[in-house]
């Protein structure tokens, strides 16, 4: 049963990576794989979210020369993006509390039977 939307939290993770340093799409993907093994984000989701966030002025981009291969579109977080990242942080903190309470209650119910 699939109850959650895949990639729903992608912008939070992308903004987190971009807050460390500017990066291109595949570089963002690779950093997410490194930092969060087992994440379910794929490059299609990342590029789609990058486009959406750029339209909302959370990130900017510029074409940069590459040491290997063609130019790369490098993304940077904006001040608005940093504000949104802080909002994600607060939301995630709240969710962690709610999920911890859920787990605690479920264990109590399960153990009482």
Domain for residue 39, yes or no? yes
Does this model's pTM top 0.75? My answer is yes
What is the count of structural domains for the chain? Answer: 1
Q: Does 68 reside within a domain?
A: yes
58 in a structural domain: yes
Confidence of residue 1 (pLDDT cuts 50, 70, 90): very low
Domain containing residue 87: CATH number? 1.10.10.10
Q: How far apart are CA 87 and CA 62, in angstroms?
A: 26
Asked whether residue 56 is domain-assigned, the answer is yes
Distances (CA, A) of 95 to 72, 80, 89, 112: 36, 23, 10, 26
Q: What is the pLDDT of residues 59-91, one digit of tens each?
A: 999 999 988 889 999 999 999 999 999 999 999
Lowest mean pLDDT among 8-12, 20-24, 37-41: 37-41
Instruction: Report the alpha-carbon distance of residue 110 to residue 113 in Å, rounded.
Output: 6
Structural domain harbouring 82: 10-112
Determine, yes or no, domain membership for 35: yes
Q: In this structure, is residue 3 part of a structural domain?
A: no
């Amino acid at each position: 049963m699939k109850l959650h939307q895949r990639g729903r939290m992608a912008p939070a993770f992308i903004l987190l990576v971009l807050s460390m340093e500017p990066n291109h799409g595949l570089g963002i993907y690779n950093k997410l794989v490194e930092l969060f093994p087992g994440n379910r984000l794929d490059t299609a989701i990342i590029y789609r979210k990058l486009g959406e966030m750029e339209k909302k002025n959370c990130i900017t981009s510029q074409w940069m020369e590459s040491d290997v291969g063609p130019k790369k579109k490098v993304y940077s977080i904006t001040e608005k993006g940093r504000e949104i990242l802080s909002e994600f942080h607060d939301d995630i903190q709240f969710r962690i509390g709610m999920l911890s309470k859920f787990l605690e209650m479920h264990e109590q119910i399960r153990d009482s039977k």
